[in-house]
């Protein structure tokens, strides 16, 4: 038995319309609606809204599915990525957040550390949208990737194992940094969430881990043994980012 | 499954070609990473990929100038054309996460739990996004109607 005198909350009204309400509470809500015309009108407006959505978009279901979405074809020949490198590069360099960031920090003058973080975030933005060419060396060639980046960068570049956090190595690439080369590695979860790790030469020997947000991107960065590490994500919460950064840090420590 | 994905993508992205690009990229990605699929519901997984890809796409577009069409000439608009345009316009004014929640629940009929998994947030967040989205769309539809009435 539930108590009919418990007032119905807004959450319950939504849950009622969406059939998420426990069965034993439905009749209470119905009784409530009978005596609260404002709430009844709101519930009705949500139903009308749902009808309008279906009226507008259900016709898509009846359309013939275009040939290019045929699974057999897709297996054989993936489509070229339309939001590709050229558009992303233009966007990043012509109207990019980097320019804005520098303009904003101009009075104080950005520190080398801030420069590195901006480089890392720009690289992240540029390459996470890539489907076909996000990296130069794929994650399947982990050893080669590590050796190559180590040789070109001049410090030990390791691709940490992040399977514990549900991430798989997509691969990596070499990037030009503000003072010499930088390494860039990308990881991906089963649902397509991407994290990147950027390393470059640092003036600081070692620092604590710090957190920075720029637009939708958030990053954790620290310096260790004259190398700065920046872990970047889009939209991931700080807890998850910290968990991943910690795992990267621990593995860098262990390598000795 | 593909027709439902196309419907979701169409409502999410507005433009029919972009919507099908999203569906295609979702399928390509799903096929490529089938070994990464850790079990669970394939339907939810596909909605998750599509939602993430659209977020990436919007991020890369955000830096370019926005060209809004003066008129929506969607050839697939159904009989209730005016109403359809209203709802499409109201959807376009929502922020990304709210639009996605609203469509997944109201159009695709997913449960709060499934949407929470797709967006990687607690159920409470899904419910507050849904409530805000509904309030916003309602206000937007009503505002549009009063504005029209005033012009007449």
Rounded CA separation A235/A216 (Å) = 6
| Segment A216-242, tens digit of pLDDT | 888 888 888 889 999 999 887 888 888
CA distance A205 to chain B (A): 34
| Segment A171-210, tens digit of pLDDT | 999 998 877 899 999 999 988 889 999 999 887 777 777 8
Q: What is the ipTM of this complex?
A: 0.81
**pLDDT band per the 50, 70, 90 thresholds, residue B34:** low
Structure tokens at A164: 């514990």
Give the residue among A251, A218, A213, A248 at the shortest CA–CA distance from A232. A218
Name the residue among B21, B120, B131 with its Cβ closest to that of A10.
Answer: B131
Cβ count within 10 A of residue A27: 11
| Segment B78-133, tens digit of pLDDT | 444 555 668 998 998 899 999 999 999 999 999 999 999 999 999 999 999 999 99
| Segment B106-118, tens digit of pLDDT | 999 999 999 999 9
B72 in contact with A, Cβ within 8 Å: no
Structure tokens at A76: 């054989």
- B interface test, pick of A41, A83, A87, A133 with most B CB neighbours within 10 Å: A83
State which of A21-35, A84-98, B46-60 shows the largest mean pLDDT. A21-35
Q: Which of residues 21-60 of B touch A (CB under 8 A)?
A: 21, 23-25, 27-29, 31-33, 36-38, 45, 48-49, 52-53, 55-57, 59-60
pTM (two decimals): 0.53
Cβ-Cβ contacts under 8 Å for B107 (sequence gap 6 or more):
A50, A53, A54, A57, B7, B8, B11
A74 in contact with B, Cβ within 8 Å: yes
pLDDT exceeds cutoff 70 at A252: yes
CA distance B69 to chain A (A): 18
A53/B53 CB distance under 8 A? no
């Amino acid at each position: 038995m539930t108590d009919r005198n418990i007032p119905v909350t807004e959450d319950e009204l939504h849950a009622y319309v969406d059939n998420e309400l426990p069965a034993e509470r439905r009749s209470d809500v119905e009784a409530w609606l009978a005596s609260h015309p404002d709430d009844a009108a709101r519930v009705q407006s949500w139903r009308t809204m749902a009808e309008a959505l279906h009226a507008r978009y259900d016709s898509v279901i009846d359309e013939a599915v275009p040939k290019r979405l045929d699974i057999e074809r897709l297996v054989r020949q993936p489509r070229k990525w339309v939001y590709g490198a050229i558009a992303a590069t233009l966007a990043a360099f012509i109207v990019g957040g980097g320019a804005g960031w520098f303009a904003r920090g101009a009075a104080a003058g950005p520190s080398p550390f801030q420069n590195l973080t901006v480089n890392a975030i720009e690289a992240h933005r540029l390459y996470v949208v890539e489907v076909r060419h996000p990296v130069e060396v794929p994650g399947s060639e982990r050893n080669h990737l590590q050796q190559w980046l180590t040789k070109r960068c001049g410090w030990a570049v390791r691709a940490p194992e992040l399977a514990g956090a549900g991430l798989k190595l997509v691969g990596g690439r070499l990037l030009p940094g503000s003072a010499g080369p930088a390494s860039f590695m990308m990881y991906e979860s089963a649902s397509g969430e991407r994290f990147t790790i950027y390393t470059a030469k640092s003036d600081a020997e070692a620092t604590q881990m710090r957190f920075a947000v720029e637009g939708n991107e958030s990053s954790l960065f620290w310096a260790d043994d004259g190398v700065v590490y920046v872990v970047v994500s889009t939209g991931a919460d700080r807890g998850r980012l910290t968990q991943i950064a910690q795992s990267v840090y621990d593995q860098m420590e262990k390598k000795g | 499954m593909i027709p439902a994905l196309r419907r979701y993508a169409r409502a999410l992205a507005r433009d029919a070609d972009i919507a099908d690009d999203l569906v295609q990229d979702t399928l390509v990605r799903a096929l490529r990473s089938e070994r990464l699929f850790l079990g669970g519901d394939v339907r939810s997984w596909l909605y998750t990929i599509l939602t993430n890809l659209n977020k990436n796409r919007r991020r890369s577009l955000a830096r370019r100038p926005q060209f809004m069409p003066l008129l929506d000439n969607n050839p697939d608009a159904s009989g209730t054309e005016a109403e359809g345009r209203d709802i499409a316009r109201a959807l376009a004014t929502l922020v990304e996460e709210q639009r996605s929640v609203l469509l997944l629940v109201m159009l695709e009929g997913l449960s709060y739990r499934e949407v929470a998994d797709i967006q990687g947030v607690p159920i409470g967040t899904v419910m507050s996004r849904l409530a805000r989205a509904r309030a916003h769309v309602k206000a937007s539809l009503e505002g549009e109607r009063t504005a029209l009435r005033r012009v007449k």
